[in-house]
């Protein structure tokens, strides 16, 4: 059996927006803290030891997700999709973006925000209790989308759901 991989990553720790500014622009502009940069570096080292470089990346356009991505995967294989649809998205919207990924993608990395990313992880890992804990900044969930070599039917990303995925790893590097 061969597997495609889905990596869900919550951005690492970000600075708060300026005091009293609750605008979307201020939230989008929040940079990583020093601790967030260090956590992103640990995520990079952890993934580098265990996973191939993602060949398809979905990332929210927020500064904190972009910065997390630039540290975790300094030189991703193309393409990297920065989509406003991923900013503070619901788990349903995140799943739709994954399901729209091209079939050539073997390893997808999605860098997003809570609560959507942790809800998606919980739903996809419905048979596993590891993700019941909150997705702290920098948390990772890695899933496999299975294909049986003896079957003529191959699962693609459009088939991605809780029944076609299995949780391999849940970690907070």
Distance CA 95, CA 91 (A): 6
pLDDT in tens, 122-149: 999 875 555 555 689 999 999 998 755 5
- In our burial notation (b when 16+ CB lie closer than 10 A, e otherwise), range 85-115 reads ebbbbebebbbebbeebeeebebbbbbbbee
Q: Are strands 2-10 and 140-147 parallel, antiparallel or unpaired?
A: antiparallel
Identify the residue whose tokens are 């020093």: 34
Of the two residues 70 and 149, the one the predictor is more confident about is 70
pTM: 0.92
Burial class (CB in 10 A: 0-12, 13-18, 19+), 46: middle
| CATH numbers and ranges of domains, the chain | 2-171 (3.40.50.1240)
**Average pLDDT for 6-34:** 96
Rounded-to-10 torsion of CA 108, 114, 115, 119: 30
pLDDT band at residue 22, thresholds of 50, 70 and 90? very high
């Amino acid at each position: 059996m061969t597997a495609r991989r889905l990596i869900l990553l919550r951005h690492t720790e970000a600075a708060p927006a300026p005091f009293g500014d609750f605008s979307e622009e201020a939230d989008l502009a929040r940079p990583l803290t020093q601790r967030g940069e260090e956590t992103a570096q640990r995520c990079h080292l952890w993934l580098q030891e265990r996973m191939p470089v993602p060949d398809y990346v979905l990332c929210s356009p927020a500064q904190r997700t972009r910065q997390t991505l630039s540290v975790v995967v300094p030189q991703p294989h193309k393409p990297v999709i920065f989509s406003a649809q991923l900013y503070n998205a619901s788990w349903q919207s995140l799943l739709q973006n994954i399901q729209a990924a091209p079939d050539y993608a073997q390893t997808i990395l999605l860098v997003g925000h809570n609560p959507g990313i942790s809800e998606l992880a919980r739903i996809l890992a419905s048979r596993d209790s590891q993700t019941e804990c909150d997705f702290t900044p920098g948390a990772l969930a890695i899933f496999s989308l299975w294909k049986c070599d003896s079957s003529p039917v191959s699962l693609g990303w459009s088939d991605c759901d809780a029944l076609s995925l299995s949780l391999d790893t849940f970690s907070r590097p």
